[in-house]
Amino acid sequence: MTDATAFELAQVNLARLKFPLDSPELKDFVDALDPVNADADAAAGFVWRLQSDEGNATDIAVFGDDWLIVNMSVWRDTDALTAYMYQGQHREMLSRRREWFERVQEAMTTLWWVPAGHRPTVAEAEARLLHLRAHGPTPYAFTLRTSFPAQGARPVAFEVPEGLGCSAQ
């Protein structure tokens, strides 16, 4: 059996903007980026996050679409990721996502296991997300609702706190 500590959890979350990043409508979102990212950096189980020289990833291209922004990070495991996601400033931001981001039908978030120390690329994240969209949750690309252990064994169910579903942005 594979040692689970040899793996870390990668996650990508895309969002389709309703307005340009420099618009008044997105001021609260943009102003919260640094504090929310600082919270993530300090969170138990946090390993790494994608960022440009600006300190966030809002200027990193994904799927060649200027209206999409990407958040990608690596965590110790799903417990560490969900503990961060559903508390504090991030929870507040999550509750306001409909103000800033379009609601889309296709999956915009996926998870996958990477060898400890690996830092995923945007191209890798795009491939994982496309796989999830085409095949549903598998050990290659999955969701919090249907996650897989690092060994790729059978799926485990995960309950998302009420009102904070993991559906597409």
Torsion of CA 83, 85, 90, 94, to 10 degrees: -140
Backbone angles phi, psi at 127, to 5 degrees: -65, -45
- The token duo for 32 is 């919260």
Asked if residue 149 is part of any domain, the answer here is yes
pTM, 2 dp: 0.85
Per-residue pLDDT of 124-169, as tens digits, reads 999 999 999 999 999 999 999 999 988 754 444 444 444 444 444 3
- Residue 65 is part of which domain span? 4-157
Q: What is the pLDDT of residue 91?
A: 85
Does residue 162 lie within any of the structural domains? no
**Which tokens hold the place of 145?**
């609702």
Identify the residue with better confidence: 55 or 108.
108
* Domain of residue 72, CATH code: 3.30.70.100
User: Cα separations (Å) of 113 from 17, 98, 145, 163?
Assistant: 28, 29, 15, 27
Q: Are 126 and 104 in contact (CB under 8 A)?
A: no
114 assigned to some structural domain: yes
Q: What's the structural domain count of the chain? A: 1
Give 4 or 30, the one with higher predicted confidence. 30
Residue 166 resides in a domain: no
Label residue 143 exposed, middle or buried (CB < 10 Å: 0-12, 13-18, 19+).
buried
